[in-house]
Structure 1
C-alpha cells in the first residue's frame, strides 16, 4: 500500500490528472522504483495506491561524490542543489562562512528541490542534504572519505 503526501497527492491528482485505476511510477529516494495502481484519488484526501511491482536500482555512479560548498546568496544554492542532484551527487554539505545567511528554513526547501530534481532526471537515489557546518567541521566529516578535493 502506498499513501502519498498532500503535496504529492495534489501533483498526481490535479497536475498530472491521474484517476483511480491509473498506473503510475514512483521512487522512494533510496533506489527503489515502484509501479503503483491508484486505488483512491479523491479531492482533499491523500492519494492511495496498491504496489504492483518494485525494482531496486544500485547507484549507477562508480564513485560516490560528496559536495561541500559555501552557501551562496539568494537562490544560487537552490540551483546548485537541483543541478548536482540531477548529475548524481550523493551528499551535499552546506558550509557556513563569514557571510552566510540563515540556513535553517532553507534546508527543508533544498530537500524539496532535490526531490523534484530526482523526478526530473529520473534518478532513484536522493542525496543527503546535511545541516550547515563550519569549514573545520566539514574537514572532520571528510576524513571518512577515500579522496578529498578542496577547490578554493
Structure 2
C-alpha cells in the first residue's frame, strides 16, 4: 500500500486560469485557450504569433491571427509574457519572465534560452539624461557549423 500523500496537480485549464488571474486579466474563452497553449503544461516556451495561431487552429480553436497578436500584446502589457524582437521585425514571446539571455538559431529561426549563469556583462552604457534603462535583452545569434 502506498502511504505517500496524494499529489495535488492542476489541470492545464486551472494553470491557465490562475496565470491570467495573477495578472488580473478577465478569463475570456480565447484568452484561456491561448493561455493553455502557452503555459498549460507548466513548461516555458518561445512562440511567435504565427506559431501560436497554428497551434490554436490545430487544437480546434476558432481564432484569427489578429486576435492572437492582440492577445499576446495584452499578455505582455499585463506582465505575463516578454516580447523579444529579432531583426527589428520578428517578435518572439517568452513565458519565462526571469532575466536571461537567448540564442537565436538563424538556420531555423528558433529562439531558445541561453544559460544565464554563463553571461557576464561587465558594464552597460549609462542612459542619456532624462531616460532610464528599462531592460537589457541579450540575443546571441547562432548558425549550425558544417562538420
Which category describes the TM-score, using the shorter chain as reference length? under 0.3
Higher strand share: 1
Which protein, 1 or 2, shows the higher relative CO under an 8 Å CA cutoff with sep ≥ 6? 1
- Per the normalisation by structure 1, the TM-score is 0.24
